[in-house]
Structure 1
Amino acid sequence: MSEQQQARLQVHTTNPGAAAAALASFARVRHMRSMGGQADEAEVGLSDMERCMIGVARFKCELTAEVDLWDGTVITFTNRGRMSWQHDGSRGVADPETAAVFRPGEPFIFHLHDTRNIALLLRPGCLPPALGGAGAGGTPSLGGVREVDLRSGPASSWARLLVQSSVDLARPAGHSMWGNKLMMPLLEESLISGLLVSTGHIAPWAHEGRRQRPQFLIDAQDAIHADPGFPWTVAKLAAVGHISSRSLQHAFRDHTGASPMEFLRQVRLSRAHAELRTADPATASVSEIAARWGFTHLPRFAQYYRAQYGHNPRQTLQGR
């Protein structure tokens, strides 16, 4: 095996059709329409790895496209400009502060102008079902997350790692640290684990291949992700896996580094955060959303939320 083991594709073109063809390894471009006249310019770079793929696309023109993913899940944001999108009945914006999550099935439509997009494609089967909430065909669903707030916390560090590694992997063979065959598995592990932490799935991916999680732990985590708002207790979660409370607590600590209630709280925070970002502040309230996801003590919820996201839940609801 060579020192540089990932497959690379670099395309620089003034023809959006050529850029669309470069994306064909992970998506079918139904149509791509440029509105930039003579100033059209596109550049696409892909770094293919075993479990995921990093993509970088620069579009200096104004562009609208409709895209179908072949398989896998794409998480994308920009570090220049902004991209508006529609997908599976939802719409939003990907920019340096917010990443969008797209899954196969429904096509997604995007519109952008003078952007640099960074994307991570997660292949089917790259996450254990209980960690990523795998959908049909083993497609990573990340528990239904549609957007990831990149402004603070673990997600901010994860986004920086993805940007820096995309730059490093674009270097010539022999000049890339992450492209080295010894470093590539560490990069994949860091990107996938970092994304799980950033979306509220606390799990040490690094240990997953070394120590098999017991089935009772998988069952308890699945129950939490399926209904985070339920009034779970350690005893109720232990009953799901037909195990003692003490054994469940030891398993959570051993495999996630958190207690069952800490794991539950992290998942609840992630779900509440996602709803706060998309709710209408004219009709929704922080207390209603917090209660829906199992937080019955509002001041304590606000305290946990500030510690995780760096600002108050009301600020998120009001779009600030």
Structure 2
Amino acid sequence: MAGLPVDVPVHVALHTTDVEEARAFCRKLYYAPLRIEPVGDPGRFDFSADVVELGPITVGEVGYGTDIRVSIGDLETAYHVLVPLTGVLRSRHHGAMVLADPTRAAVFRPIGHIELEWPGSCRLLSVKVDRAALERELDAALDQQVVSPLLLGASFDLIDGPGRTWVALVRLLLAELRGADGLASQPRMAARWRDLVVSGLALTVEHPYGEEPAGLQGPYRPRTVKRALDAMHAAPARAYTSRELAAIAGVGVRVLQDAFRQHVGMSPMTYLRRLRLDGVHAELTRADPGTASVSEVAYHWGFTHLGRFAGAYRARFGVSPSATLRDRS
């Protein structure tokens, strides 16, 4: 296509036992506010990274050889996905704890501090996507304006569905771009692959918007389901009942519940509770701990029973809502 933007892939690699050299490499390619501290045997520190920069994406395979702790300041400019190829990575981001392994990726939004416990047994794919690129793609895919930063799920499945396909695409792209004579080394072809990585991520990661709020549950969603989803997103704090949502959709309660389970993967009320919990989580991560209170934010999002709310919040994010507010950075 004549108007296709062209980005020339840049391939860089490093293998070193020097911690400072590894820090400098990661700060240059990923984020300046980044700290790397070995917590295992420092004599086993053996950093290796093979990374390709391609316009708005940076894709690499990274390992450290020994247990380390990584601390990253507010991302601000990018979304990030970590996909362990071996081992288990433990992450903490805005009050949410995620264990990532070869079956599940960790996803980070461009807001808040990140702490990673990265064992020497863990080698992973690191995928950085510029904030504007992913937001433009999701906005275009859904044909509606999205709120920045995107309210994304903290992880996604790598065994079945779109997550498996997306990771296979990323691995193939990285393998192709490492070589000098592959098809992807051609700038225009590389640009097409780059766009596939960005658009594929937009359709893979969980988000609360219109057509695909549960991460591509199906290519078609009935109008009855969409009516209920639109109503919930328009007024998530409203005290909906199953009967009211069914009336909005124009079907019976049982029909709507069956349609939601088939096309969204959960019941309407479960979806509404998750939508509210994600809204509370996003607000707590932005709030000032000195002036905001968990109860006020919870009430604002329609939770009237604070005990049940706290239990549901902890089940979804792994920490209490007060911890999310207190740990805001």
Partner of 1:15: 18
Structure 2 counterpart of 1:7, one-letter code: V
Partner of 1:251: none
- When residues 263 and 192 of structure 1 are mapped into structure 2, their CA distance, relative to the original with a 3 A threshold, is farther
**Aligned mate of 2:203, from 188, 197, 200:** 197
**Aligned mate of 2:61, from 41, 56, 59:** 56
Structure 1 counterpart of 2:165, one-letter code: S
Q: Is the 8 A contact 2:7 2:55 kept in 1?
A: no
What's the TM-score, normalizing by structure 2? 0.59
* 1:157 aligns to 2:177 (yes or no): no
Task: Give me the whole-angstrom Cα distance separating, in 2, the residues matched to 1:182 and 1:166.
Answer: 16
Cα offset for 1:15? 2.1
Runs of 4+ in 1 over 6 A off after TM superposition: none
Partner of 2:223: 261
- When residues 58 and 152 of structure 1 are mapped into structure 2, their CA distance, relative to the original with a 3 A threshold, is same
Cα offset for 1:13? 0.8
What's the TM-score, normalizing by structure 1? 0.61
Cα offset for 1:110? 0.5
Cα offset for 1:31? 4.1
Superposed CA deviations along residues 176-216 of structure 1, whole A, max 9, x for unmatched, are: 33222131111111111211221367xxxxxxxxxxxxxxx
Partner of 1:181: 187
- When residues 110 and 72 of structure 1 are mapped into structure 2, their CA distance, relative to the original with a 3 A threshold, is same
Task: Give me the whole-angstrom Cα distance separating, in 1, the residues matched to 2:111 and 2:206.
Answer: 24
Q: Is the 8 A contact 2:225 2:259 kept in 1?
A: no
Q: Is the 8 A contact 2:225 2:260 kept in 1?
A: no
User: What is the percentage of aligned positions where both structures have the same residue?
Assistant: 18
Q: Is the 8 A contact 1:26 1:71 kept in 2?
A: no
Superposed CA deviations along residues 47-103 of structure 1, whole A, max 9, x for unmatched, are: 111121112212221111111235211011111111000001111111111111112
For these two proteins, the number of residue pairs brought into alignment is 230
CA RMSD of aligned residues (A): 3.8
Partner of 2:114: 108
Q: Which has the higher contact order (CA 8 A, sep 6+)?
A: 2
SS of corresponding position for 2:184: coil
Q: Is the 8 A contact 2:157 2:163 kept in 1?
A: yes
Structure 1 counterpart of 2:66, one-letter code: C
- When residues 16 and 185 of structure 1 are mapped into structure 2, their CA distance, relative to the original with a 3 A threshold, is same
Task: Give me the whole-angstrom Cα distance separating, in 2, the residues matched to 1:163 and 1:4.
Answer: 19
